[in-house]
Amino acid sequence: MGRYGKSGRLNLSARRYKKGGNLPNRKRRKEEVKPYEVEKDVQKQNEIKLEGRRIINLSHFIRSLQELDSHSAIGCCFKDVHVIKETRYGLNSSLTFKCKLCNTERSVWTCIPPASENCDTEQIHHKVNTDAVNGIVNIGCGYTNLNTFLTISDVPPNSQSMYEKEHKVISEAWEKLACLEMEEAAMREKELAVECGDVDKSGIPLVTVIVDGSWAKRSYRTNYSSLSGAAAIIGARTGKLLYLGMRNKYCATCAWSVRLSIPPKQHKCFKNWSGNSTAMESDIIVEGFCQSLKMYGIKFNRVIGDGDSNVYKMILDARPYDDLLVEKIECKNHLLRNFCNKLQELARSSKHGHVGLRKRIANNVLKLRTGITKAILYRKMSKDALPLKITNLRSDILNCPFHYFGDHTRCDEYFCKTKQDNSKNEVPVMKSSGLLYKMLEIFQVLSDCAKSLLCDVSTNRVENLNSLIAKFLGGKRINYSLKEAYNTRCNISAVHFNKSLPNYTFHKSLYKYSPSSHTKKYEERRCKAREAAAKRRNYN
């Protein structure tokens, strides 16, 4: 038959080995395995591998480990425990320890700060997540920036849902705090108005305010299509914010439901505007004027603003106060800036005058502005009556082109020391070319605002607020107009504008107890730096 058998096919069989030193049965195998090896394998299966870094509350974590060191009465200590589980809640982690001897399990949280009696337990557990979101928003960044920082730092990042949940918490808190700070500033403005005797016939305080608006997107004077905008009303005496309003043309949740043709889910919709973006400013300011009497018991009798005449027209049309006509004061800086811009445009235009004369105008723009500024200061400090001051300032402004181009016959004594020197008179040449008359049109527009120039006021305070809003919006390079982010960052700007220690105040308002000394020391250093910078500016 041979090796192929009867059928002629090859029979395959498993190769046999000698039993030699192999264990004969399962019972013998169990007996020969040492018990401590089994326990060691089980412990390795229960232990977990902890990777990366964690954020911990140092005092709380050390205290928890000390309590864990004496967790049993039979003599177990910290070296007998090992971590069997980690439960992460954002940046807060719960580490479950198990003792090898008594099998006791204890959980230790990495970040649970000491709480006051008024704080609820859930909010305390979430504090590290809330503070992380609050911190990233306070530097003008968002969810992606936070997770990028955490990932590079080898810390497990937050989820999108966790970020949005904590963002709602800080949004409500900042909005509430901003309202309280604006009300406090309005009460102080009210007291100062009464002390100065600025009240109407009914005894209602009259307050001078500074107004301006800002948008969430840079227009570069060409594209006015921002989805969100804000406008502010600031008290002229205190320099504090009294009213801040926001307008939004878009809601991401509503837009998503429209795109899918489904009803929107229940949410807080921030869309409150459907008109042009440029009309947001006037609508908010008019709203602030109409609500001033109801909210604070004061009237805004004078408004300091830029050259936007539409805002003032809207205030007059709304008639917020039946027996009071609101007066407009133009910002000196805006008037002089527009004046210089028009002179620069005239110098660049080839329609009027010789190129040499136009270059002379371009080279003397700054001198012309300086001369007008000195004239404003002199007339403001004079003891003449206001109508005479206005007349004299108008004459000084209209005389500036004659003075700086060589004709000193009309110069006042304080203004000109070379009154008899007309050797370099270029006025006749400029007259013959028609360039002088174009210049006089620009000077005439400025002289019509002589009364506002004598007030010598500007909108710098509200421009400071706008710069703060731009800072918290990340330089207006990121679109924060989809949900509540824009309103939140505007409210943060309001608190930072009115308070010298904004984050300290926010922490105490939200958690009902003071933060650690690190927050207070840092904000005190910033406050001292701002005061020192202000002193240097005033000195110079």
How would you list the strands of the sheet with 105-109, edge to edge? Answer: 81-89, 92-99, 105-109
Distances (CA, A) of 402 to 342, 361, 370, 394, 413: 18, 12, 15, 14, 15
Q: Is residue 349 part of a domain?
A: yes
Query: Are residues 153 and 187 both part of a single domain?
Result: no
Q: What is the pLDDT of residue 200?
A: 92
CATH of the domain at 314: 3.30.420
Q: Do 278 and 148 share a structural domain? A: no
Indicate if 271 and 174 belong to the same structural domain.
Answer: yes
Long-range pairs, 466-475, Cβ under 8 A, ≥24? 466/212, 466/214, 466/232, 468/493, 468/496, 468/497, 469/214, 469/230, 469/493, 470/214, 471/140, 472/137, 472/138, 472/140, 473/140, 473/216, 474/140, 474/141, 474/142, 475/140
2-20: pLDDT as tens digits = 544 555 555 555 555 555 5
Residue 465 lies in a domain: no
Q: Please indicate, yes or no, if residue 352 is contained in any of the structural domains.
A: yes
The whole model's pTM is what? Answer: 0.84
- Residue where a domain stops, chosen among 144, 160, 176: 160
For residue 275, what is the DSSP state? S
- Contact present, 502 and 495 (Cβ < 8 Å): yes
Question: Does residue 450 sit within a domain?
Answer: yes
Same structural domain, 207 and 262: yes
Per the structure, how many domains does the chain have?
3
- Residue 15 covered by a domain: no
Question: What is the CB-side half-sphere exposure of residue 518 using CA atoms within 13 A?
Answer: 0
Give CA separation, 426 vs 25, 52, 200, 318, in Å: 121, 77, 53, 50
Neighbours of 192 (CB within 10 A): 15
Nearby residues of 19 by Cβ (< 8 Å), 6 or more positions away: none
Asked whether residue 167 falls in the same domain as residue 153, the answer is no
Q: Indicate whether 210 and 317 sit together in one domain.
A: yes
Q: Which of 115, 144, 160 is the last residue of a domain?
A: 160
Residue 269 lies in a domain: yes
Residues counted in the chain: 540
Q: CA angle, corner 440, sides to 437 and 445, nearest 5?
A: 135
Q: Given 420, 455, 490, which residue is the final one in a domain?
A: 455
Q: Are residues 322 and 423 in the same domain?
A: no
| 278 and 402 fall within a common domain | no
| Amino acid identity for residue 376 in this structure | I
Do 197 and 253 share a domain, yes or no?
yes
Same domain flag for 345 and 286:
no
- Is there a domain that residue 106 lies in? no
* DSSP-derived secondary structure letter, 323: T
Could you tell me if 305 and 398 lie in one domain? no
Same domain, 315 and 397: no
Question: Which residues of the chain carry a pLDDT beneath 70?
Answer: 1-47, 113-126, 418-423, 538-540
Q: Which domain holds residue 385?
A: 334-455
Q: How many CB atoms lie within 10 A of CB 337?
A: 14
Q: Does residue 3 fall inside a structural domain?
A: no
